[in-house]
Amino acid sequence: MNVARTLTVDEAGLVALAAALAPALREGGALYLGGELGAGKTTFARALLRALGVGERVKSPTYSLIESYRVGALDIHHLDLYRIADAGELEWLGLGDLWQAGTLLVVEWPERGAGALPPADLSLQLAHAGDRRSLSAMPGSARGAAWLRAWPALAAAPSS
Ligand SMILES: Nc1ncnc2c1ncn2[C@@H]1O[C@H](COP(=O)(O)OP(=O)(O)O)[C@@H](O)[C@H]1O
Ligand SMILES: [Mg+2]
């Protein structure tokens, strides 16, 4: 059975965790980043994309909804659905066309795109924990479970 694994980290720790996850994501898939405003979703996504080779160009898609990158053969789409009231508003984005094997989707506020997004391979949930942030990881597919196994700090973290 899939269980969530949870760690509590400072900002540098979160950035390091994102960088450690990155290599497994080069094959593409769907990563959901949940959590309230300020929980660290964009901080995590930015560190992840940098580690994948996007470099310093990572912008928050808060206003654009989507920022896309290509690194080598990997297409990456970073979405932030905060401003979406219901998934129907996403039709114009043509998400179905974006979603192809080998593409990496990193989605903030995924619950606002329910029904219009592919299912998560791995769902991360971030939450305020005083000055730090808790990070829970829950696989949603065999691929996500493999990502988690390849992510030692989280794979060894307590289940919750
Ligand atoms: N442990 C931590 N992990 C991530 N961000 C942290 C942490 N501690 C403090 N912060 C701060 O919290 C804010 C997180 O913002 P952001 O990543 O944009 O959140 P979100 O995208 O979830 O709204 C940033 O200002 C960051 O500097
Ligand atoms: Mg954000």
Q: Is the pLDDT of residue 35 over 90?
A: yes
Residue nearest to atom 2 of ligand 1 (CA): 11
In this prediction, residue 142 carries a pLDDT of 97
Q: Which residues line ligand 1 (CB under 6 A)?
A: 9-11, 14, 35, 37-43, 108, 132-133
- pLDDT confidence band for 89 (50 / 70 / 90): confident
Q: Which segments within 15-149 are labelled E, that is strand?
A: 29-34, 66-71, 74-80, 103-108, 122-129, 132-139
Q: What would the mean pLDDT of 130-141 be, rounded to a whole number?
A: 96
Please give all residues whose CB falls under 5 A of ion ligand 2, grouped by chain where several chains appear. 41-42, 108
Please determine, for residue 103, whether its predicted confidence score (pLDDT) is greater than 80.
yes
Average pLDDT over the chain, rounded to whole? 92
pLDDT tens-digit map of 10-19:
999 999 999 9
Fold of 11-129+140-155: Rossmann fold (3.40.50)
Rounded Cα gap, residues 14 and 46, in angstroms? 11
Higher pLDDT pick, 101 / 137: 137
Residue type, 70: R
Task: Map out the domains of the chain as residue ranges.
Answer: 11-129+140-155
Mean pLDDT, rounded, for 30-44: 98
| Whole-model pTM over 0.85 | yes
1 has a pLDDT exceeding 70: no
Rounded CA separation 22/2 (Å): 21
